[in-house]
Amino acid sequence: MRRIKLTVAYDGTDYCGWQIQPNGITIEEVLNKKLSKLTGENIVIIGASRTDSGVHAMGNVAVFDTKSPIPPDRFSYALNQKLPDDIVIVKSEEVPSDWHPRYQDHIVKTYEYHILNTEVPDPTKRHNTYFVSYKLDVAKMREAAEYLLGEHDFASFCNIRTNVEDTVRTIYELEVLESECTYARNGHAAGRELTIRIKGNGFLYNMVRIIVGTLLRVGRGFYTPEQVKEILEAKDRQAAGVTAPPQGLMLMQIEYQDILLTKK
């Protein structure tokens, strides 16, 4: 029996998230079915990050166990022939039989949230950006983001329906990046695209989207940057901003410091 690690990219628009749900199709369900058909075994994958409905990924991670003779690096090619166009296996490789994508000593996850800050929406970006027409003070958003760096109790930035006992997490980086958007007005600048990039050792349910919603309220002037520190210290979900919608969120990468690939 071998354990195979998959790096998975997907457009989450038409899926009810990663984890199998009774009310709709999910990424996990599709991968299980396609892998089972490919190997002739009953495959049940283990995912690293259970992204929500409508959320996208460039680098989610999953593992599965198999007796199939298919070479580890060829699973990606074989699977991509069977998967729908909105799911792609970026890479496949063998890992130790006890390697788990969620339980490692040092894991770093990177998310990006994409915002289209223009007067009118761009219909070609409706599935992977959040359209915001109002003016935003990016400098204040960046100032507010500084208060969230480091290890903190992020209970204020966690959906109340989460069942975790420990709400302490560490954010290593939190950037608010901007670039000019020129898709309209005869090629002249019509606004900008913002990318909120966040890197940490783990994230609570809806944590990134609540952070984004809070930073947007800072950008609009409803909160001062200093109030974000107060929100953090309150440890109360009602103190923070609204949860930003899912389509702007993308899981970019999951890094494992101590992964040791099985030697052939």
Catalytic residue among 52, 85, 105, 153: 52
In 3-state terms, what secondary structure has residue 35? helix
* Alpha helices, H only, the chain: 27-39, 75-80, 138-145, 207-220, 225-234
Is 52 noted as a catalytic residue in this protein? yes
Question: Binding site for substrate: which residues?
Answer: 111
What separation in angstroms does the CA of 41 have from each of 29, 45, 59, 93, 231? Answer: 15, 12, 25, 19, 49
Sequence ranges of the binding site: 111
* Residues belonging to the chain: 264
Task: Determine the Cα–Cα distance for residues 222 and 219; give it in Å rounded to an integer.
Answer: 8
CA-based angle 253:233:159, to the nearest 5? Answer: 50
- Cβ neighbours for 83, distance < 8 A, ≥ 6 positions apart: 30, 31, 34, 89
Active-site residue set:
52
